Amino acid sequence: MRNILPNKNLLPCSKLLKSSIRFFFLLVLLSCRQSVPDRLTKNQVIPLKTDNKPVVFVPGIKGSKLEDQQGNLRWLDAKASLNFTNPDLRLMGDSYDLKPVGAIDRITAIPYLIDVAVYGPWLIKMSQQEGIDFYVFSYDWRKKNLATRDQLLQFLEEISKKYQKKPILIGHSMGGMLSLSTINLKPNLVDKVIYVGVPFRGGIGYMKDLHVGNATGLNAKIQGPCRIAKYETVYGFFPRLHTWDSKDIVVDSMGKTIELDLYNAKTWKENTLGFYANDCKPEELPSENELQTILDNSVKFRESLTPTKALLKAKIPTLVVHGKNLPVRKAMTLLDNKRIQTPSAKIWDLEIAPKEMGDGSVSYANSLPPEGILYKSIFTENEHSLMLNDPLIQEQVLEFIP
């Protein structure tokens, strides 16, 4: 039976992988990309077994490749990670409308020496499974989460029309947050869901990226505080005050909790947080009103993670992958200005603050789904970005899928 699918964004990853890994990476780039299907292209016709199990994978933040309108890869290649190039990824100008073109498989500078397998082993494993049609939902991880959530919802609806079975949804990190937000809207859309290293309850970890920067390989600038200041996603990792989100994320030099509302733009300015602590170009920064709009949308996204009655009633079979063998930053610390002889600007430290155990990025406590969701937990010792490359996790995921 032959089926017309809405463009190549809905083509499952090919099973023809055994002949060449190079062919696989090319195939991922060409056929596992995602955007909202806007028309049917009759030349995109492939054989499809409607009784196969559709599995949809949603990568985490920075896990999708992005290219510009000319087809140039902006995120991510070895040259950029080695700081030989510095492509513009600011959410402005001609870099605003970048296209997602599949999940990042691996970054190779020198084969076998400088070679980071990002999602590669996981993508290969899943694409080789008989009876499974494996899809990657890639997205522009700089843009508003609620808009991406709506795209994922439409993507799943299009997939569902082609199969006899509901799709199985797998989300890593922010991809898991998007997955929960999606099934909260339409619980009966999926058969099962798998969450991997998901910061359901938020955390302070991304403050390092926004405040002092977090290098990508040897490149400290490509995702520096000034470059990501206007991103509409990164602020949604922080906990809300007085909710089921994580607590005690800001402390003073004595370890006493300080309550800061990180969803109030004035908090960032008054406390010299994020881009306010950096010497950025004016055009790179959101105004206070623009920042507040970003924060308001981020709060709405976090609110969308609170389970609805319909979701709890659906009792979707759920598997959660955690780590709890690596330290994770629990809080940021306000240093004593007098002791360190600084001016009036507040000085924050993200290294001496308390730690808790997790996967290196998300603490175990914050990876627990919201109350009311029933789930089975499994554990890996792999760090956050490589959790799905653990062969034992892959086997347990495959056992859960049937």
Tell me the average pLDDT across 236-264. Answer: 94
Binning pLDDT at 50, 70 and 90, where does residue 107 land?
A: confident
Tell me the average pLDDT across 111-128. Answer: 85
**pLDDT for 159:** 96
Binning pLDDT at 50, 70 and 90, where does residue 128 land?
A: very high
Lowest mean per-residue pLDDT among 93-97, 115-119, 273-277 = 115-119
**pLDDT for 184:** 98
**pLDDT for 253:** 87
**pLDDT for 112:** 60
- How many percent of the chain have pLDDT more than 70? 84
- In order of their start, the domains of the chain are 2-400 (3.40.50.1820)
**pLDDT for 269:** 95
pLDDT digits (tens, 9 = 90+) for 30-48: 233 333 233 222 333 457 8
Q: Which two tokens stand for residue 280?
A: 């950025």
Is pLDDT of 6 > 70? Answer: no
pLDDT digits (tens, 9 = 90+) for 302-334: 999 999 999 999 999 999 999 999 999 999 999
Q: What is the 3-state secondary structure (H, E, C) of the chain?
A: CEEECCCHHHCCCCCCCCCCHHHHHHHHHHHCCCCCCCCCCCCCEEECCCCCEEEEEECCCCCEEEECCCCCEEECCHHHHCCCCCCCCCCCHHHCCCEEEEECCEEEEECCCEEEECCHHHHHHHHCCCCEEEEECCCCCCCCHHHHHHHHHHHHHHHHCCCCCCCEEEEECHHHHHHHHHHHHCHHHCCEEEEECCCCCCCCCCHHHHHCCCCECCECCCCCCCCCCCCCCHHHHCCCCCCCCCCCCEEECCCCECCCCCCCHHHHHHCCCHHHHCCCCHHHCCCHHHHHHHHHHHHHHHHCCCCCHHHHHHCCCEEEEECCCEEEECCEEECCHHHHCCCCCCCEECCCCCEEEEECCCECHHHCCCCCCCCEEEECCCCHHHHHHCHHHHHHHHHHCC
Tell me the average pLDDT across 335-359. Answer: 74
Is residue 79 a contact partner of residue 192, using CB atoms and an 8 Å limit? no
Selection from 35-39, 216-220, 224-228 with the highest mean pLDDT: 224-228
